[in-house]
Amino acid sequence: MISGPADLAAKSTSELATVANDIRDFLIRKVSRTGGHLGPNLGAVELTIALHRVFHSPHDVLLFDTGHQAYVHKILTGRESDFDSLRQAGGLSGYPSRSESEHDVIENSHASTALSYADGWAKAFALQQSTRRVVAVIGDGALTGGMAWEALNNIGSAPDRPVVIVLNDNGRSYAPTIGGIASHLAVLRYEGDRNIFEDLGLAYIGPVDGHDITDLEHALRKAVRLNRPVVVHCLTRKGKGYAPAEEDEADRLHAVGPVGAAKKRSWTSVFAEEITAIGAEREDIVCITAAMAEPAGLAGFASRFPDRMFDVGIAEQHAVTSAAGLAMAGMHPVVAIYSTFLNRAVDQLLMDVALHRQPVTFVLDRAGITGPDGPSHHGMWDSSILPVVPGLRLASPRDPARLRELLREAVDVNDGPTVVRYPKATASDDIPAVRRTGHCDVLLECPGADVLLVAVGPLASACLQAADELRAQGVPVIVVDPRWIAPIDPCLLKLAGAHRLVVAVEDTTTPGALGGRIAQALAANGSDTCAATFALPPRFLPHASRSEILRAHGLDAAGITTTVLKRLEALS
Ligand SMILES: Cc1ncc(C[n+]2csc(CCOP(=O)(O)OP(=O)(O)O)c2C)c(N)n1
Ligand SMILES: CC(=O)[C@@H](O)[C@H](O)COP(=O)(O)O
Ligand SMILES: [Mg+2]
Q: What confidence category does residue 512 fall into, taking pLDDT thresholds of 50, 70 and 90?
A: low
Same domain, 393 and 482: no
Taking the CA of residue 254 as reference, the ligand 1 atom at the shortest distance is: 19
Ligand nearest to the CA of 69: 1
Rounded to an integer, the average pLDDT of 512-534 is: 69
Is residue 429 situated within a structural domain? no
Same domain, 151 and 43: yes
Ligand nearest to the CA of 174: 1
pLDDT at residue 556, rounded to an integer = 96
Question: Using CA atoms in the order 5, 8, 10, 13, what is the torsion angle rounded to 10 degrees?
Answer: -150
Same domain, 491 and 551: yes
Same domain, 377 and 505: no
Same domain, 513 and 403: no
Alpha-carbon span 105 to 488, nearest angstrom: 41
Largest alpha-carbon pair distance within the chain? Answer: 79
Q: What confidence category does residue 514 fall into, taking pLDDT thresholds of 50, 70 and 90?
A: low
Residues near ligand 1 (Cβ within 6 A): 40, 43, 66, 68-69, 109-111, 139-142, 168, 170, 172-174, 238, 254, 290-292, 314, 316, 341, 344
pLDDT digits (tens, 9 = 90+) for 307-337: 999 999 999 999 999 999 999 999 999 999 9
Residue 392: which CATH number? 3.40.50.970
Q: Is the pLDDT of residue 2 over 80?
A: no
Q: What confidence category does residue 511 fall into, taking pLDDT thresholds of 50, 70 and 90?
A: low
Alpha-carbon span 175 to 177, nearest angstrom: 6
Taking the CA of residue 172 as reference, the ligand 1 atom at the shortest distance is: 20
- SS3 (DSSP) at 451: strand
Q: Is 168 annotated as a binding residue?
A: no
Q: What confidence category does residue 517 fall into, taking pLDDT thresholds of 50, 70 and 90?
A: low
Is residue 326 situated within a structural domain? yes
Q: Catalytic residue among 87, 252, 344, 398, which?
A: 344
pLDDT at residue 193, rounded to an integer = 74
Ligand nearest to the CA of 370: 2
Residues near ligand 2 (Cβ within 6 A): 66, 68, 109, 254-255, 295, 366, 370, 373, 424
Inter-residue contact 571 to 499 (CB < 8 Å): no
CA of 37 to the centre of ligand 2 (A): 8
pLDDT digits (tens, 9 = 90+) for 41-100: 999 999 999 999 999 999 999 999 999 999 999 999 999 999 999 999 999 999 999 999
Is residue 399 situated within a structural domain? yes
pLDDT digits (tens, 9 = 90+) for 116-155: 999 999 999 999 999 999 999 999 999 999 999 999 999 9
Taking the CA of residue 140 as reference, the ligand 1 atom at the shortest distance is: 16
Is residue 356 situated within a structural domain? yes
pLDDT at residue 299, rounded to an integer = 98
Q: What confidence category does residue 23 fall into, taking pLDDT thresholds of 50, 70 and 90?
A: very high
pLDDT at residue 516, rounded to an integer = 61
Q: Is the pLDDT of residue 281 over 70?
A: yes
User: Does this model's pTM top 0.95?
Assistant: yes
- Looking at 211, 246, 281, the residue that finishes a domain is 246
CA of 226 to the centre of ligand 3 (A): 26
- Looking at 360, 387, 421, the residue that finishes a domain is 421
Same domain, 441 and 560: yes
Residue 186 CB partners (closer than 8 Å, separation 6+): 171
Same domain, 235 and 297: no
Q: Is the pLDDT of residue 6 over 80?
A: no
Alpha-carbon span 112 to 342, nearest angstrom: 14
Alpha-carbon span 418 to 145, nearest angstrom: 25
Nearest CA, atom 7, ligand 2:
373
Rounded to an integer, the average pLDDT of 546-559 is: 96
Is residue 8 situated within a structural domain? no
Same domain, 237 and 273: no
pLDDT digits (tens, 9 = 90+) for 155-176: 999 999 999 999 999 999 999 9
Q: Catalytic residue among 274, 316, 409, 506, which?
A: 316
Mutate to test the pocket of ligand 1, among 48, 66, 240, 377 (most ligand atoms within 8 A of CB): 66
Is residue 260 situated within a structural domain? no
Same domain, 440 and 495: yes
Among residues 99, 97, 92, 121, which one has the least CA distance to residue 107?
Answer: 97
Same domain, 118 and 210: yes
Same domain, 468 and 493: yes
Inter-residue contact 441 to 481 (CB < 8 Å): yes
Q: Is the pLDDT of residue 245 over 70?
A: yes
Helix, strand, coil share of the chain (percent; to 5): 45, 20, 40
Does 249 qualify as catalytic in the annotation?
no
- In sequence order, what are the beta bridge partners of 455? 505
pLDDT at residue 201, rounded to an integer = 98
Q: Is 415 annotated as a binding residue?
A: no
Is residue 489 situated within a structural domain? yes
Q: Which domain holds residue 103?
A: 13-246
Q: Is 103 annotated as a binding residue?
A: no
Is residue 257 situated within a structural domain? no
Q: Catalytic residue among 24, 87, 228, 238, which?
A: 238
Instruction: Please give the helix or strand (H or E) that residue 104 lies within, else none.
Output: none
pLDDT digits (tens, 9 = 90+) for 187-238: 998 776 789 999 999 999 999 999 999 999 999 999 999 999 999 999 999 9
Domain count, the chain: 3
Q: Is the pLDDT of residue 513 over 70?
A: no
Ligand nearest to the CA of 257: 2
Q: Which amino acid is at 424?
A: K
- Looking at 399, 421, 443, the residue that finishes a domain is 421
- Provide, rounded to the nearest whole percent, the portion of the chain with pLDDT above 90: 88
CA of 182 to the centre of ligand 3 (A): 10
Q: Is 170 annotated as a binding residue?
A: yes
Averaged pLDDT score across all residues of the chain: 95
